[in-house]
A and B are shown apart, each in its own frame.
Chain A
Amino acid sequence: MPNQLKAFCDQLRHLPALQSLIVLEDVLSYPIPYRSGECLTLRFFFFSRGQEKDAAGTVALYRPHVRVSASYPEGKLLEFMDLGFESGAAIPRCGEIVGRYPHPAMAVLSYAEAQAQKTAYFYALQQLLPLYAESAAPSPETLSLVKSYVESFERVSEPAFRSYYETLSPQFFAWIKRTLAL
């Protein structure tokens, strides 16, 4: 099955509007679903990494500085938010270091293995999206998919960014927790 979600993210990264607003070096985060009324969107943040590696082979993770939202699956750009503007204090792209990358779960993998894990994340999320979009009642099937998603998310996502991901869509992570609690 083609990974539509991965293709969606690639297309978003290269939207002409973002070519004027996001520099080459910026990295697009993993997508997090967000519902606005009947509209399902995907939310992301942009962040940068340092170029210099430390002795452990990791690079600096800088604080995310931009949030974008796009309709899914149409891919229409709905929101571009400078997080510094939102918070009232400027966030330089390469300002505050909040962590290192790769984190331990990814550092043990080869590049190809790491990419495979990211692909697995996109698949897990893609399967979950219809259920989240319609607020599906918890069921064994839903629980299984949520567990699979959480496992994948915790493997690939940067621990230093977990709170930023949760801020992107508190409603989505609340739905995850409710489902897991059943």
Chain B
Amino acid sequence: MKAGETWMNPANAENRNAGERTFGIIEPCWAVCDTGGGYGLQLHLHHQYWSASVSWGDYILGGTMGPFETEYGDKTPFAETTDTSQHVEDAELLSPERRAALEKRIQGMSDNIFLKSDAREGKVLGDPEGDAKYLHPQTRDTCATVAQEGIIEKRTGVDHGEEALAQEAYEKGWTDEAGGTYPKDVGNLLEAHGIPTQRWTDGSASAETLKEQLSQGKDLIAGVDMGALYQDEAYAGVGHAVWVTGVEIAPAGQISSVTINDSNHPESPQSYDYATFKTAWDGSNRLLVAAG
């Protein structure tokens, strides 16, 4: 491997944790470098609003941190560093064991960095990638049921399955025979499985509500107009329930995008610009259930 060549990148599963934290905002690019006091790894951060690079080695000699240095200069290991890094010609100088040790160490550091950056504007609230593993498909009109299934699984460790929960909801009168949930009953399964909820059914939920609830670690289910969300007339006016797993906050403080677990798209979380999500959410009178 040559100097500057990326050997961990966002698309690489090995870099999954950093990818989760950055949620598409920051694009980390790892490269082997010479820190001046020993070989290490260099992390380039390319954010939509800024970029920075940091190097780690045995002595943590290199690095410039841009906004982190300004805001968190006395709280990070990089406070007094200067950028003395130089790429090496051949990264093979690093043994696999040494690479592994550095990678592990950097992973821990990057966790701290990203946690700190989460406290800034330009952050992501929620844990879209982490919650993605609780994304379940719907086999009929059970969107609200499987959204609750995922949250119950996340919070209790038990996946009851779509059919068992759909049967429970139907027997208790919360859904009809086709599995559709009455809006006032979205959240009842959560309560029945020991997860407290707070609900907004009168149109009073807002972008601030989303931010506040996600900041408090709540899991959110929102009602949406499926046609408005997908921009597809075939589904216009059809209500749908989705699990809001994260919002991205722009520098001015407003929500710029929303990521959801959508049982119609069980392959991966889906992200929408906030204007599109808001229009779709308005279609349900901004129905919202906060769990936890």
Contact = CB atoms under 8 A, between A and B. Distances in A.
A28 interface: yes
A109 B234 contact: no
A79 interface: no
B238 to A, nearest CB: 6
Interface in A22-59: 22-28, 48-49, 51, 53, 57-59
Given A24-B144, A24-B181, 6 more contacts: A19-B201, A23-B141, A24-B240, A58-B234, A107-B233, A109-B233
B178 A93 contact: yes
B198 to A, nearest CB: 17
**Best-surrounded residue of B186, B234, B239 (most CB of chain A within 10 A):** B234
Nearest to B234: A59
Interface in B260-292: 264, 284-285
Given A19-B201, A27-B238, A114 B176 contact: no
Interface of B: 141, 143-144, 175-178, 180-184, 186, 201-203, 223, 227-228, 231-241, 264, 284-285
A111 B233 contact: yes
A151 B243 CA distance: 40
A16 interface: yes
A28 B144 CA distance: 19
Nearest to B173: A20
Contacts of B227: 111
B124 to A, nearest CB: 28
A15 to B, nearest CB: 10
A119 B25 CA distance: 37
Contacts, number: 91
Contacts of B177: 92-93
A21 interface: yes
B141 A20 contact: no
Contacts of B241: 24
Contacts of B285: 10, 13-14
Contacts of B201: 16, 19
Which of B143, B203, B237 has the most chain A CB atoms inside 10 A of its CB?
B237
Given A25-B180, A93-B177, A111 B231 contact: yes
Interface string A41-82: 000000011010100011100000000000000000000000
Do most interface residues of chain B lie in helix, strand or loop, or is the interface mixed?
loop
B234 A25 contact: no
A101 interface: yes
B184 A20 contact: yes
Contacts of A26: 180, 239
Contacts of B233: 102, 106-107, 109, 111, 114
Contacts of A14: 203, 284-285
A94 interface: yes
Contact of B182 (A19, A53, A58, A115): A19
Given A19-B201, A109-B233, A24 B223 contact: yes
**7 A-B pairs with the lowest CB-CB distances in the bound complex, closest first:** A23-B180, A24-B239, A14-B285, A27-B237, A19-B183, A114-B233, A111-B231
A25 B236 contact: no
Contacts of A21: 182
A92 B144 CA distance: 20
B234 A57 contact: yes
Contacts of A48: 141, 178, 180, 238
B176 A53 contact: no
A114 B181 CA distance: 27
Contacts of A93: 176-178, 180
Contact of A92 (B178, B181, B232): B178
Contacts of A94: 141, 178
